[in-house]
Amino acid sequence: MVRALDRKLLRDLRGSWAQALAISVVLACGVAMYIMSMTTLVSVERSMESYYRDQRFADVFAHLKRAPDSLRERIVSIPGVARAETRVVADVNLLIDTRPEPAVGRLVSLPERGEPALNAPYLRRGRWIEPDRPGEALVSEAFAEAHSLRPGDSVRAVINQRLRELTIVGIALSPEYVYEIRPGEMLPDPLRFGVFWMSRRELGPAYDLDGAFNDVSLGLMPGAAKAEVIARLDELLAPYGGLGAYGRDEQISHQVLESEIDQLRGMSLLIPAIFLAVTAFLFNMVISRMIRSQREQIAALKAFGYSNTEIGGHYAGFVGLIVFAGVLLGAIGGWWLGGAMVDMYVRFFRFPRLDLVFDVGAVAVSALLSLLAAGAGAFWALRRAVRLPPAEAMRPEPPPDFRATVIERLGLQRSLSQPARMVLRNIERQPLRSSLTCLGMSLAVAIMVLGNLNAEIIDRLIKHEFFWTQRQDMTVSFVEPTSGRSLREVERLPGVLYAEPFRAVAVRVRSGQVSRRVALMGLPEQRDLRRLLDEDAREVALPPDGLLISESLAEILGARPGQSVQIEVMEGRRPVRAVPIAGVIADYSGQSVYMNIKALHRLMREQDAISGAFLKVDPDGAEALFSELRRTPGVAGVTIKDAAIDSFEETIAESLLLLRAFTISFATIIAFGVIYNSARISLSERGRELATLRVIGFTRAEISRILLGELALLTLIAIPVGLVIGRELGAFAMEALQTEHQRFPVVIGRQTYAYAVAVTIVAATLSGLIVRRRLDRLDLIAVLKSQA
């Protein structure tokens, strides 16, 4: 048996279904964002954990020149080390018949017997290699997909200056390459970088590493002191050309994955919080209006003997039903969006499986948070309902008090028509509600700005890195540092218009207790192809002595220009020197350290060694150049800038579009929810007033202008406020999301602002039109008969 009061609840809900729906949908957006982020977060985290565990992802990594296998025993005996896996790892040029440009293959050795103790590849298809069958290899999935390689296909590679044919027997994944990117590169490019696993028995002799290794990974015991292990390992490897050991936090694939998880976590908090705040505001607005218009009903209920608790519960039930609908809708939407996000992640990150984990806890948390927000919003209104003495409730509410507005008190009233005065006085009489309405709309504008920020930042990063800083078409790196003369050889290659040398040296930069492994780049003073820029993209001159370091590194080291840092070189004679910091440059990805190439030569005590060259290439001669480079011994790798950017943008464009579509729909829903509800409430509060005006002879258009004028004015105020909030939130979010390795420039272009403004105005106009239709149906006679 449904109680009469419950029936009233349902009918009230039906009577204001559009408003209830608007609130539910705003709430649902927040819940959906939260559940989407949490679902994706939990899915990615769990997949990562189980993947790392099953494939025994190492804790510490190190590369070196050459060490005998016997060193392994000493490495394992470092306190805290549970397991060690020594390998031979080498980068080679691949010759692929279907593509003119060279690709780089990373060859990784597999033990002769059994699976590797650490970083075991996960076999997706095909079979494991047979150690006694030469030329067999496993290939990484991303590369295989990019080149449509299947088990049985073969690839040619230049292994230690000899052309070899690799037969692919299996397609594999590795926890080391969840994000498959070539170290030192900014963007993944599966067309031009792939990982190959081959037998140690075959790879060792090929690189003169029989009975030796040039790469080691460690698994640590629980609770081991990682920093200590790294320091001990560095000591052990130093005589063997160790390039500096590092933990997972500096392992590039893991780094990217972690920062993605951090970003998801950030997203799961910021945006839903905005939606919850707006929901609270909408509840406040709608419930207070409802209680005001139901004074007599409340009084009658009390007169009949209903208790305060029952009446409070009645209106709380109204709130509860809307919250329930919102959470339900949001949970379904979040689950669906989570699926879309996970699909997107599968394209960037290579997991054996990435299962969508529905996070029931997240639903519970979001239900709780929604109830809290709704409760906070409705609290004061509910308290008023409960406190209303029956006799007072029977009397109509006294007429609202008005006074002249600030504008009029300033003596500017002559310019105002009566309708304009009505608009201004209504806004000024309820400053809190007007400002909350305004704030609600501002938040919609802000979300819109945030939605576009993503794309703008990526665009800016690409511009900064690839068009302003790196202006070469191609980068050639040599296997070993060679003499400056080889630059002239490179310049003479077909298609090369211009070449600029660089010297890259693996170093550890240290300041006090803090140190980081970086590549110290030596550049000529006069250069064209690599510019060093400050935050405003102005060029910073490379001084004859001293370092230019990226801002993030300066912060990590706690060192400022003028101070010195210790440079520990990891190759050659391994000199250690204190070098002063000459200046700071803006570098958004990774940490870079630059030096005048002559100063670097002096530091290294070498003549004119170079590690490679940046090239400006004639597009027509590119193909000839490629085929020449593929055959050139001593060239370790070629990076083609445009190709990398294209392939990156291709992958990311769709995802960005998807994200942008989400945020825009969400922001539109907020804008619509706030404006529509405000308009509806104004209409119900002022229907009588507007009907009177109609009777007096005002046209529909004229009274619409009064009602909608107020909203239009609030919208106009909300827009600039929202743009500022959007920019500040963006800066805040980027600050929160930045990691040691990735920073984000906060750049907001004019079109983002214009876009946010346009969408808001459209949303406002749409809700205005809907309310306007109700104005047209205003019952002129009924309102005149009733008391205010």
Binding site for another protein (CB under 8 A): 398-404, 417-419, 421-422, 425-426, 429, 688-689, 692-700, 702, 780-781, 783-788
**Nearer CB in complex with another protein: 156/688:** 688
CA distance 629 to 490: 9
State whether the Cα torsion 200-206-211-217 is positive or negative. Answer: negative
**Nearer CB in complex with another protein: 400/512:** 400
**Nearer CB in complex with another protein: 403/488:** 403
**Nearer CB in complex with another protein: 408/646:** 408
CA distance 747 to 753: 11
CA distances from 381 to 290, 312, 387, 431, 750 (A): 9, 10, 10, 17, 41
The helix or strand, by DSSP H or E, that contains position 408, with its residue range, turns out to be: helix 406-409
- At 438, give phi and psi (nearest 5°): -60, -45
**Cβ 381 to another protein, closest distance in Å?**
21
CA distance 475 to 102: 12
**Nearer CB in complex with another protein: 248/425:** 425
**Cβ 784 to another protein, closest distance in Å?**
5
What's the CA angle centered on 591, arms 587 and 596, to 5 degrees? 85
**Cβ 418 to another protein, closest distance in Å?**
4
**Cβ 773 to another protein, closest distance in Å?**
14
**Cβ 396 to another protein, closest distance in Å?**
10
CA distance 457 to 406: 42
Residues 6+ apart with CB under 8 A from 541: none
Which among 184, 63, 254 is positioned nearest to 591, based on CA atoms? 184
- At 640, give phi and psi (nearest 5°): -105, 120
**Nearer CB in complex with another protein: 398/619:** 398
**Nearer CB in complex with another protein: 114/431:** 431
Residues 6+ apart with CB under 8 A from 153: 167, 168
**Cβ 694 to another protein, closest distance in Å?**
7
CA 234 to chain centre: 34
**Cβ 777 to another protein, closest distance in Å?**
11
Structure tokens given for 115: 């699976």
**Cβ 689 to another protein, closest distance in Å?**
5
Residues 6+ apart with CB under 8 A from 725: 442, 443, 445, 446
CA distance 196 to 159: 12
Residue 474 and residue 617 in contact, taking contact as beta carbons nearer than 8 Å: yes
**Cβ 417 to another protein, closest distance in Å?**
6
**Nearer CB in complex with another protein: 303/780:** 780
**Cβ 688 to another protein, closest distance in Å?**
7
CA distance 542 to 84: 42
Q: Which amino acid is at 509?
A: V
**Cβ 707 to another protein, closest distance in Å?**
13
**Nearer CB in complex with another protein: 161/699:** 699
CA distances from 60 to 55, 85, 247, 728 (A): 15, 11, 4, 39
Buried b (16+ CB within 10 A) or exposed e, 58-88: bbbbbbbeebeeebeeebeebebbebbbbbb
**Nearer CB in complex with another protein: 346/404:** 404
**Cβ 403 to another protein, closest distance in Å?**
7
**Cβ 347 to another protein, closest distance in Å?**
58
Q: Which amino acid is at 548?
A: L
**Nearer CB in complex with another protein: 689/740:** 689
**Nearer CB in complex with another protein: 114/697:** 697
Residues 6+ apart with CB under 8 A from 614: 470, 472, 474, 475, 499, 500, 502, 529, 530
**Nearer CB in complex with another protein: 405/611:** 405
